[in-house]
């Protein structure tokens, strides 16, 4: 079977399952391409005439249909404006419309607080240099740039720990860790 045929067949199965899209794709065909190509570890620009082994992605397709798990969670990957991000069930899958909104900003913000989404993609997403590196497939450079945003991710995680501790103890003040996290962002 060729990749294109496998994608088409998968799209038909997804369509029959009446799934919800919106975690990076908005239709069965794109979702099928994402599941098949990335499930096989292939780039999006792979020749669709290439042969494919359906059994290598069948479990992903079945989970998507039967358990209705978003493809991004199954693949542990979501893309925002051409840049891949690791995602799992602990995070909100970045939505492509967010990148579109950022591009439409008339004034470039000096600070962005990317808090409680989990993937940490919004702050680095505003970095033109990071997106340029991703588009050019210079992943080493993209990772180096992304690492500059790790303090924001650390702050986000510290905020969560403080908030979780405050909720568990019944303390409405969110504890010292939250304060430290907020100070890191100033």
Compute the average pLDDT of residues 8-36. 92
Rounded to 5 degrees, φ, ψ at 80 are: -130, 110
How confident is residue 60, by pLDDT bands cut at 50, 70 and 90?
very high
Considering only 87-96, 111-120, 170-179, which range has the smallest mean pLDDT?
Answer: 170-179
Q: What is the pLDDT of residue 85?
A: 77
Q: Pick the residue with more confidence: 34 or 124?
A: 34
Per domain, the residue ranges of the chain are: 3-75, 102-185
The highest-confidence range among 46-55, 93-102, 150-159, by mean pLDDT, is: 46-55
Q: How confident is the model at residue 84 (pLDDT cuts 50, 70, 90)?
A: confident
pLDDT, position 136: 83
Alpha-carbon distance of 124 to 12, in angstroms, equals 36
101 pLDDT band, cuts 50/70/90, is low
Buried b (16+ CB within 10 A) or exposed e, 27-48: ebbbbbbbbbbbbbeeeeebeb
Q: What is the mean pLDDT of residues 4-24?
A: 92
- The widest CA-to-CA distance across the chain, in whole angstroms, is 60
Band of residue 142 on the pLDDT scale cut at 50, 70, 90 = confident
**Are the beta carbons of 83 and 93 closer than 8 angstroms?**
no
∠78-147-137 over CA atoms, to 5°? 55
């Amino acid at each position: 079977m060729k990749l294109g045929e496998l994608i088409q067949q998968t799209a038909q199965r997804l369509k029959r399952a009446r799934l919800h899209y919106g975690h990076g794709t908005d239709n069965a065909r794109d979702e099928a391409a994402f599941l098949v190509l990335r499930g096989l570890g292939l780039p999006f620009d792979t020749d669709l005439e290439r042969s494919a082994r359906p059994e290598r992605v069948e479990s992903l397709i079945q989970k998507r249909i039967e358990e209705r798990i978003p493809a991004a969670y199954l693949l542990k990957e979501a893309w925002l404006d051409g840049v891949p991000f690791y995602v799992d069930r602990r995070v909100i899958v970045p939505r492509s419309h967010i990148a579109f909104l950022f591009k439409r900003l008339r004034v470039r913000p000096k600070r962005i607080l990317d808090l409680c989404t989990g993937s940490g993609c919004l702050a680095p997403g505003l970095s033109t240099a990071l997106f340029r590196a991703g588009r050019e497939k210079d992943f080493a450079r993209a990772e180096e740039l992304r690492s500059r945003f790790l303090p924001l991710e650390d702050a986000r995680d510290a905020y969560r720990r403080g908030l979780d501790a405050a909720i568990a103890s019944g303390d409405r003040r969110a504890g010292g860790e939250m304060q430290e996290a907020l100070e890191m962002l100033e």
